[in-house]
Chain A
């Protein structure tokens, strides 16, 4: 079956750096998305990776290794507003989107 694994919850300190990992086992691969979702709200797009390597976008970066079935989202200079769930989703060979359960990130002052 298809599977995406993310840690359930992580805690970090304001101003620090945190890395949220995502490993996947899917039938084929056509890209990986990261979304941010604040409690009770809709997910919003953060990044899309289809080739290996690091994509940087301001304080957020996303890394992909297709050979390892692995991605991470790196958040720098953490702010309280970064407290949210971070969802990893993979596009499989049939162009269907498979979602992880999400990682709840708690930021402490």
Chain B
């Protein structure tokens, strides 16, 4: 079945450690996105990519990094520079290459907790 797979579902990190969240899609979508979700707030865009080997910062990119070496994959690294990384992270994809022209397809999410 086509879809988006995020891993791990739950992750615990010690302060000062970098962690990488995986996002893989087999929908043949061009655009991929990373969002952060905190209680009582709307989804906030971290990074997005509309084409392989290119990505753009979102509203809250500081302390995060991404890569897009393959169309199917868009991993997110949460670095030690991110001051408050405990959150629910959602990866999404869409077919469009010029902004939000259609619905987003989301992965199941990764919940990161910093100890």
Q: With an 8 A cutoff between CB atoms, is B61 at the interface?
A: no
- B99 to A100, Cβ gap below 8 A? no
How far is the CB of B39 from the nearest CB of chain A, in Å? 9
Candidates A4, A40, A48, A91; contact of B99 at CB < 8 Å:
A91
- B42 to A101, Cβ gap below 8 A? yes
A43–B88 alpha-carbon span in the complex (Å): 12
Chain A neighbourhood of B103, CB < 8 A? 33, 45, 48
- B43 to A99, Cβ gap below 8 A? yes
How far is the CB of B103 from the nearest CB of chain A, in Å? 4
Q: With an 8 A cutoff between CB atoms, is B107 at the interface?
A: yes
- B90 to A43, Cβ gap below 8 A? yes
Q: With an 8 A cutoff between CB atoms, is B27 at the interface?
A: no
- Chain A proximity mask over B81-115: 1 for CB below 8 Å, otherwise 0: 00000001010000000111111111111010000
SS of B interface (majority): loop
How far is the CB of A73 from the nearest CB of chain B, in Å? 15
- A45 to B104, Cβ gap below 8 A? yes
Q: With an 8 A cutoff between CB atoms, is B41 at the interface?
A: yes
- B41 to A44, Cβ gap below 8 A? no
Assuming A42-B106, A42-B107, A43-B90, is B42 touching A95 (CB within 8 A)? no
Which B residues are within 8 Å of any A CB, using their own CB?
A: 40-45, 88, 90, 98-109, 111
22 pairs, A vs B, C-beta closer than 8 Å: A30-B99, A40-B88, A40-B109, A42-B90, A42-B109, A43-B104, A45-B103, A48-B102, A87-B43, A89-B42, A89-B43, A91-B99, A94-B99, A95-B98, A95-B101, A96-B100, A97-B100, A97-B104, A98-B42, A101-B40, A101-B42, A102-B42
